[in-house]
Amino acid sequence: MRTNEQDIGLFEDREKFKPAVQDMFYLLSRNYPAKAALALVGNRYEMVKKQQTALLAMACSEQELKNRLQKELHPEQLKDQTLYIDGFNILILLETLLAGGIVFKGLDGCYRDISSVHGTYKQVEQTEAVLLLAGRILQTLGLQKVVWVFDSPVSNSGKLKTYCYELAAQHDFPWEVILHQHPDQYLIEQQVWVCSADAFVLNECAAWFNLSAFIISKGQFGNCIVHAR
């Protein structure tokens, strides 16, 4: 279960994040370094480290926002296409959400969490539900193929690959699974259509689909989400 009671308590006052995100947006849009901007705004709003991490996840500059929105794909554009998924990025976010953890909606409309794999991944009780939910919703988009890309250096990524193929066979999901040393670079260099909430990937990719937002729009997760505005 990717949630923590203490962490949830840090985000009870959700309204204070909205002006903080706007302050970050102002500074980043004027080319303040992210680290310096975060220190200024985090100190102003008396945020601890985890709150600052969430704040940074929700913020971006005006230039980044315009770039990302120009490349965002809509559901009707995906029929008969191939979509590449930033595997751990999407999987862990949805596991966190289904576990009742907090996720954060950024200015760009992407949902992010403050979890990370730190070189190790273990399946949790939500993993199967997340993969099945994603698979069924992706089926509704009429895609020709879905390619999951996971970090090969992360432990248990091989087991996860096998598990994804097992689910795909059972439910007729048109999935391929790739393990790669540097998934972010791979998704960018291949110039494919991607699903990710990683800022670097969104800034540099050819085009992207907001899969997490699409999935969240189909469920009842509002109480677990902190909004940027």
Domain boundaries 70-227, corresponding CATH code: 3.40.50
Contact between residue 68 and residue 202 where contact means Cβ atoms under 8 Å apart: yes
pLDDT tens by residue, 130-185: 999 999 999 999 999 999 999 999 999 999 999 999 999 999 999 999 999 999 99
User: Which pLDDT score, from 0 to 100, does residue 120 have?
Assistant: 82
Q: Which two tokens stand for residue 32?
A: 């303040």
User: Which pLDDT score, from 0 to 100, does residue 228 have?
Assistant: 64
User: Which pLDDT score, from 0 to 100, does residue 119 have?
Assistant: 76
User: Which pLDDT score, from 0 to 100, does residue 27 have?
Assistant: 98
Q: What is the mean pLDDT of residues 194-198?
A: 97
User: Which pLDDT score, from 0 to 100, does residue 13 have?
Assistant: 79
User: Which pLDDT score, from 0 to 100, does residue 74 have?
Assistant: 97
For the chain, what are the domain ranges?
A: 70-227
Dihedral through CA 117, CA 121, CA 123, CA 125, nearest 10?
A: -30
Q: What is the mean pLDDT of residues 47-51?
A: 94
User: Which pLDDT score, from 0 to 100, does residue 1 have?
Assistant: 42
